[in-house]
Chain A
Amino acid sequence: MKKFDYILLVIFLLLISIGLFTLNSAVDTVKGGETILKKQVIWVFVGLIAGFFVYRTNYRVLIEISPILFISSLLMLIAVLIFGNKIHGARSWINLGGFTLQPSEPVKIAVILMFANLIKRHKGKLLHFSILIKIGLYLGLPVVLILLQPDFGTASTYMAMIGGGLFVLGLPKKVIIGGIIVIILGGIVSWSFLFKPYQKERIYTFFNPERDKLGHGYQVIQAKVAVGSGGIFGKGYKLGTQCRLKYLPEPETDFIFAVFAEENGLLGVAIVLLLFFLLISRIINIARVAYDKKGMLIAVMVASILFYQVTVSTGMIVGLIPTTGIPLPFFSYGGSGTVTYIIMIALVLNVYRRRHISY
């Protein structure tokens, strides 16, 4: 039997290449665009090297050492709250001399592994209450710390990832019902007390972008114009006027797919969406064939978070989802994220490689 999922690797490499090309176009008009691109290429290589080591190390070993990773993660998240740089109103970045690290990205790996650690001895079709509380207590911590930054977008990716894991592992009916109630109540409470005005504003404008044509609605309208004006075949590489003329906000990060859609049209969009779908399908397949529940969980969580980020990032720019600053994996600029996503791919390949071995 095959030890390696070449299809997954090819899809991944295609995506990361298309991502780099798109970034090259997107940063053309951004100040210091060349350095952004260079840095991103370096980060891809850093990610590939890190990924190689993650791939080589048996994932069960990684799960065993996950408590250490998890504790250091929590420390990083606390450190960023104290020493972090405030950018766009959130304390998410920490300066580490040569570069800035966004701890909430690599912590995703630690959370995946920690989750697997917590359920390694669990048996049965559904999760027990005791273990659910344990999961909630442990994994809730980093989410709360990220919410404190406050970075609602990144926190939501954790919830999606953990949610995906919980769904596959199986939740008791009472918990599901209770969960729904808690979510509704929590929604009401956070809407009334926790949400910042700008977050509320974004949700209002999601339902009616015209409401705020020059504010938050402006971003969505301009992104939609970018995407729509791309047509079937697109305006051509580096020829997207919406991006060139700076109508698109943050073209190198959150709005990068609008740049892509404008320049490559529906044809390009269809290819990239298909590639992402195939990538996620392959990862789901790995979950299906994994040797143990731990491996399955890792694949499901990786599939969930990639699925969530892709959907939100591409859905936001076409007005399907309220604007949330979530990067598109393999496309958006950002060292911490890029390395993290590559490691995730390495992790699932790791699970695939050891799908017949119990140790």
Chain B
Amino acid sequence: MFSEKEKIFKIRILVFYFFVLAVFVVLFFRYWNLQVLNGAKYSKIAKENTLRVVTITSKRGKILAKQGEILADHKIGYSILLDRNQLKKHRISVLAKFLNYKDKEFKKILKKYRKIPLYNPIPVKANISFEEMSAFEARKKDFPELFIGINPYRYYPYGSLLAHIIGYTGEPTVKELRSIGSLQNVGKTGLEKQYDYLLRGKNGSKKIIVDSKGRFIDTKLIEKPINGTDIETTVILPLQKLIKKQMGKYLGATIVINVNDGRIYGMVSNPSYNPNLLTLKENPKAWKLISNSKNYPLINRVIQGRYSPGSIFKLVMMYSALDSGISMGKKYFCSGTFEQSGIVFRCWNTAGHGELNLPSAVAHSCNVYFYNLGLKLGIEKIIKTSKAFGLCDLTHIDIPGEKKGFLPTPAWKKKKTGYVWYPGDTVNTSIGQGYLLVTPIETAVLISTIASNGIKVVPHFLNSPGVLWKKQKLNLNEKYLKKVRYAMRKVVTSGTGISLNDLPIKVAGKTGTAQTISGDRNSGKENSWFAGFAPYKNPEITVVVIAEKGGHGSDTAAPIAAAIFNFYAKNKELFN
């Protein structure tokens, strides 16, 4: 065509053209590969890029006392939150000054939440007071990146009074988290734990669409939160207060239950702790302080404290004797001491009780009588009777952590110590000493079984008409039980429990003075027991008191029980 150009140029242009074509073909197939072959995969990634699921916390149910007082409350706290999307660098020191932080401290807070996505506002000042909140509201305009946020928390208005009953809530452990499936506080002990599934409710969730920086764009509710249900308990608050006051500074446990259905009216374990301190999100100091306390306030002595029953066990011994055909008139002589295989066992009354029959021996809590009786019955019979009562077994009370007492057997002793069971061991067991251990709640169920003519109830706090609590009719002889009750009444009318005799209600019971390992008979180091029921005819309530190192049962535990029976007599309507 043109003189100036030769064919070679056209060939080069053609080569260039084909190169361009080839590259475009490669490009097309690359797009085809991404958009068709891998389209689904990238679509999924793109969707995940934009959606975030945020939980809406449910409202935890309240725990109420029998008369409706709120024992555990759902409260709303206020915090100042920071929207980091709006935070500009030069504002950091301004905000720090306003929030009363040093720059360094404030930066530390920001750093702490660095890994939390930006669409989550972060708390920069938690649990502010109403005054602080009003102060903030007044200057809100100057701090567009801050706003007030609400955070629900658990509040126990009566603090340590009901700590062992209610327990407290806290952040879930990994295991708990797996079972509940969403991040919300769970009950850690007590009723909070037992009825967590009712109280907790279910967190809802919303989807929010965010951009690559985590900035919030749009929101969509997926699941409404389901609030937890309130639960009503059997706790009588004035009674609880009375028990607490009566226990004073004695370590120990007191429990008051309904004889016939197992409802728990009051329960105190001393010392206690303030659950409000433990339920707060970050309070490692309080946790450390409480858990390292000398007298183990976190232990619920009512269900976890294992004590020698002392003379309380004589009630089981008496039944065992009757069941073995021994009559009420069976007499033994107490000289104040008793010798067995060269070892001298003493009665608490060193002068001796003289000649006693069975009910009198219970009433005066004569040790020598029961030493004789124990040897006559033999350990196997004693164990059999204890088992028939269900002693040293779980009561299945509706708070977690219950421990069993301990019922020793010759086989156990041989295995554990290598020694055979000596008659002396039987002698010790006969008055509730030695290896035998019971918990206060077991004792309360034992007393209730005696009082209710052989019905074993499950002690419980949940007061819900929909829940039926098990009542077990034990294979016990009602005539013998009646005789035991007669002896218990005699304890009050003429025995060691005489201090309860002038109450406006007829009480039956048994005192106990249990030696402890460090115990020394006359220095008041024994554990002081009282276990009884009232009214004598048609029993309604069982009261069990143990005051550690309270000395004689009649000295410390009996007056506490007396106050409780007195309260019952005067406020019967509260117990319906």
Write the residues of chain A forming the contact surface with B, with a CB cutoff of 8 angstroms.
123, 125, 164, 167-170, 222, 224-232, 241-242, 244-247, 261, 265-266, 269-270, 273, 276-277, 280-281, 284, 287-293, 296, 300, 303-304, 307, 311, 314-315, 318, 320
Contact = CB atoms under 8 A, between A and B. Distances in A.
B24 A227 contact: no
A21 to B, nearest CB: 19
Given A231-B35, A296-B9, A281 B49 contact: no
Interface stretch (B38-46, B125-133, B291-299): B38-46
B20 A281 contact: yes
Given A228-B38, A269-B35, A315-B27, 9 more contacts: A167-B16, A168-B9, A168-B12, A227-B42, A230-B39, A242-B49, A270-B28, A293-B5, A318-B30
A289 B50 CA distance: 52
A228 B42 contact: yes
B373 to A, nearest CB: 82
A245 B34 contact: no
A168 B39 CA distance: 40
Nearest to B6: A125
Contacts of B46: 225-226, 228-229, 241-242
Contacts of A125: 6, 8
A266 B35 contact: yes
Given A232-B35, A245-B212, A164 B42 contact: no
Interface of B: 1-2, 4-6, 8-10, 12-13, 16-17, 20-21, 23-24, 26-28, 30-32, 34-36, 38-39, 41-43, 45-47, 49-50, 209-213, 215, 217
B5 A265 contact: no
Interface of A is mostly: helix
A314 B24 CA distance: 10
Nearest to A230: B35
Contacts of B34: 224, 227-228, 318
B5 A315 contact: no
Contacts, number: 134
Contact of A225 (B23, B31, B42, B211): B42
A170 B35 contact: no
23 contacts: A170-B8, A222-B49, A224-B42, A225-B42, A227-B34, A227-B35, A228-B35, A229-B39, A229-B42, A229-B43, A229-B45, A229-B46, A230-B39, A231-B36, A241-B50, A245-B50, A245-B211, A266-B36, A293-B4, A300-B13, A311-B27, A314-B27, A320-B26
Given A273-B27, A289-B1, A307-B20, A261 B35 contact: yes
A229 B201 CA distance: 39
Contacts of A164: 16
A266 B337 CA distance: 105
A33 B262 CA distance: 74
A266 B27 CA distance: 11
A290 B4 CA distance: 10
Contacts of B39: 228-232
A292 B4 contact: yes
| Residue picked from B21, B34, B213, most chain A C-beta under 10 Å | B34
Contacts of A123: 4
Contacts of A314: 27, 31
Contacts of B27: 273, 311, 314-315, 320
A246 B211 contact: yes
A277 B212 contact: no
A193 B322 CA distance: 105
Nearest to A247: B212
A142 to B, nearest CB: 23
A224 B34 CA distance: 8
Contact of B31 (A170, A241, A245, A269): A269
Contacts of B32: 266
B2 A291 contact: yes
A320 B45 CA distance: 20
A125 B11 CA distance: 12
| Residue picked from B8, B13, B36, B50, most chain A C-beta under 10 Å | B13
Given A245-B209, A289-B1, A315-B30, A300 B49 contact: no
| Residue picked from B4, B6, B213, most chain A C-beta under 10 Å | B4
Contacts of A242: 46, 49
Nearest to B46: A229
Given A266-B35, A314-B27, A225 B49 contact: yes
Given A229-B39, A245-B210, A273 B13 contact: no
Nearest to B41: A228
A229 B27 CA distance: 17
B5 A296 contact: yes
A232 B37 CA distance: 10
Nearest to B34: A228
B52 to A, nearest CB: 11
Contacts of B213: 246
9 tightest A-B contacts by CB?
Answer: A228-B42, A229-B46, A245-B211, A231-B39, A247-B212, A246-B211, A266-B35, A229-B42, A228-B34
A307 B16 CA distance: 11
A280 B16 CA distance: 11
Contacts of B35: 227-228, 230-232, 261, 265-266, 269
Contacts of B13: 168, 284, 287-288, 296, 300
Contacts of A311: 23, 27
A224 B2 CA distance: 48
B215 to A, nearest CB: 8
B139 to A, nearest CB: 29
A297 B43 CA distance: 45
Contacts of B23: 307, 311
